[in-house]
Amino acid sequence: MIRLVTNDFSEAGEGQEAGEALVTFVACAHAMLDPGTPEDQVRRLEPRLLAQLPTLRALGVFDLFEVRDPALAALLADES
């Protein structure tokens, strides 16, 4: 079963398959954008989110979907 929203990031490692990269990206982004997420957790999630970008770009995910949150879009643009 795929869970797009989770608080369990213990299995979000490197070398993931494409589907897992998307799940990890969405889960990390969701938590990072939640105002209730502690800042230290946001700092831990950011590298995990950014690590998914090469896979998601190779799949063309950002050609199909637009990141609407301005702060997240700026973070991704800085990584281009």
Could you report the per-residue pLDDT of 3-41, keeping only the tens digit for each?
454 455 555 444 457 889 999 999 999 999 999 999 999
pTM, rounded to two decimals = 0.77
Q: What is the pLDDT of residue 15?
A: 46
Q: What percent of the chain has pLDDT over 90?
A: 72
Measured distance CA(50)–CA(57) in Å, rounded: 11
Checking if the pLDDT of 1 tops 50, the result is: no
Cβ atoms of 61 and 22 within 8 Å: the answer is yes
Measured distance CA(55)–CA(39) in Å, rounded: 26
